[in-house]
Amino acid sequence: MLKYFQSAYADRAPLESASAAAVVLTALSSVIASVSLEQSFMGIATALWLVLLIQRKRRFEVPAFFWPLLAYAGLSLAAAAFSVNPGMSLKDSRELTLFLAVPVTIAALRRKRDIEIALGALLLSAFVNTVPALGYQILRAGPGERVEGFMAHYMTQAGILALFGAFALGMIFLKRGRGRLVWGAGFALAGAALFVTYTRSSWIGLAVALCVVLFFWKPKALVLVPVLAGLTFFAAPKPLKDRVLGVFTSRNISNTARVEYARAGLKIIRDYPILGTGPDTVDLVFQNPKYGLGEFAKRNVHLHSNIIQIAAERGIATLAAWLVFVGAAFAGLGSLLKRKPVKPAPNEKEAAKKGETVGTGRATAAGSLAALAAFFVAGFFEYNFGDSEITMLLLLLLTIPFAARRCPDHR
């Protein structure tokens, strides 16, 4: 592998090679490692990017969705300054530096081979995550136990796997070459590992991602989705069936808690409409009996919804900036998908026969769009944007198609 990296970056300046390698290592750790290791690699990549900017060997380039994300960061800092607990909010605001992953990634991945190596690292990361998780489920987990893999919590594991699985769907359906088989294997493992997290919001998100990819592949194939869902349900073991059916009962404690969170969140937004309570302080505020949360709901630290949580802790204007970010990302990725696929050159056809990676442009755009859809839909039931591991992987996936578009040897 060392020889492969040496050959991949042999014709580049040391700083440029190190920058690309740091982003690749971030992708490699995105599905298997702790957030501290992932952020360490991105921190190195960011430092190298700053040096290259100062030396004028890089321009500041970002996709359009970065600007509302920057507005979100600025408004979040304002919310932290006027927080009910400024110290806690300012400490939490350090996570806003994750947004630098966007300009850093687009600056580091400058050639088609850079994109391919980063995608390979992401794929390898998913294999390393899912195989031990499934092994634990088979050998040690009890009935209905929620497997968390390498992550600190099963919902983080579910969010990561849903993002990867959604991206893999784009690679499976829109990529050329036999490399799709490897992505198919990755998706199968991720899907199985996602099931044993018993996280319904991520299941729904991945189902929506499948619909998105099928729409851009062959829209008529969408009629198969209900059939596939039905077959999956009837083939699933009883704990999974019980978990699905639990959506439709009011006796499920997590269902009733989410209703309580929605009601309490709307009351908090009414009381703190401009800048919210401050980042990471909603759980302090909703302890007040006037917000009507039961004892079980009060034990959680957020409101189980991106939209309600962001508005409650950062204000309505910050929520608006976040929604513009999501809309701009959807629009940008959609515009990439509207481009007609480039017919491969003869040498690329030969590469495809050998299973080498070709024609990744539209596939990555479709995968990223599907991942964004999965993230957004799951976020109606879970505050997944507040999870650093999920946010980092999302930003990487959103940026890769835009980096691929500007590669001079991109197809």
Task: Note the pLDDT tens digit of each residue in 147-182.
Answer: 887 787 888 899 999 999 999 999 999 987 778 999
Cα 141 from chain centre: 27
> Sign of torsion, CA 265 375 124 52?
negative
> Please, which pLDDT band fits residue 348 given cuts at 50, 70 and 90?
very low
C-alpha–C-alpha distance, residues 75 and 385, integer Å: 16
pLDDT at residue number 358:
41
Question: What tens digit of pLDDT does each residue of 48-87 get?
Answer: 999 999 988 778 999 999 999 999 999 999 999 999 999 9
Whether residue 347 is predicted with pLDDT greater than 60 in this model: the reply is no
**CA distances in angstroms from 274 to 91, 248, 277, 286, 287, listed in the order given:** 21, 35, 9, 17, 21
Give the mean pLDDT of the chain. 88
Question: What tens digit of pLDDT does each residue of 220-238 get?
Answer: 999 999 999 999 989 888 8
Q: What is the tally of structural domains in the chain?
A: 1
Please provide residue 381's backbone torsions phi and psi, each rounded to the nearest 5 degrees: -120, 0
C-alpha–C-alpha distance, residues 316 and 105, integer Å: 30
Who wins on pLDDT, 32 or 25? 25
Residue type, 217: W
| Greatest Cα pair distance in the chain | 70
C-alpha–C-alpha distance, residues 407 and 405, integer Å: 6
Q: Is 56 a domain residue?
A: yes
Q: Is 177 a domain residue?
A: yes
End-to-end CA distance of the chain: 25
Q: Domain range spanning residue 91?
A: 2-247+314-405
Please provide residue 241's backbone torsions phi and psi, each rounded to the nearest 5 degrees: -60, -45
Q: CB–CB of 395/102 below 8 Å? A: yes
Helix axes 35-54, 388-405, angle to 10 degrees: 40
pLDDT at residue number 306:
97
358 strand-pairing partners = 176
C-alpha–C-alpha distance, residues 337 and 341, integer Å: 9
Q: Which two tokens stand for residue 204?
A: 């729904």
> Please, which pLDDT band fits residue 349 given cuts at 50, 70 and 90?
very low
Q: Is 134 a domain residue?
A: yes
Q: If phi over 0 gives left and psi between -120 and 50 gives alpha, with beta otherwise, what is residue 280? A: left
User: Which region among 152-156, 305-309, 312-316 has the lowest average model confidence (pLDDT)?
Assistant: 152-156
Other beta carbons within 10 Å of 269: 21
Q: Is 291 a domain residue?
A: no
Q: Is 277 a domain residue?
A: no
Q: CB–CB of 42/26 below 8 Å? A: yes
Residues near 350 by Cβ (< 8 Å), separated by ≥ 6? none
Q: Is 268 a domain residue?
A: no
> Sign of torsion, CA 57 396 35 126?
negative
Q: Is 370 a domain residue?
A: yes
Q: Is 253 a domain residue?
A: no
pLDDT at residue number 5:
56
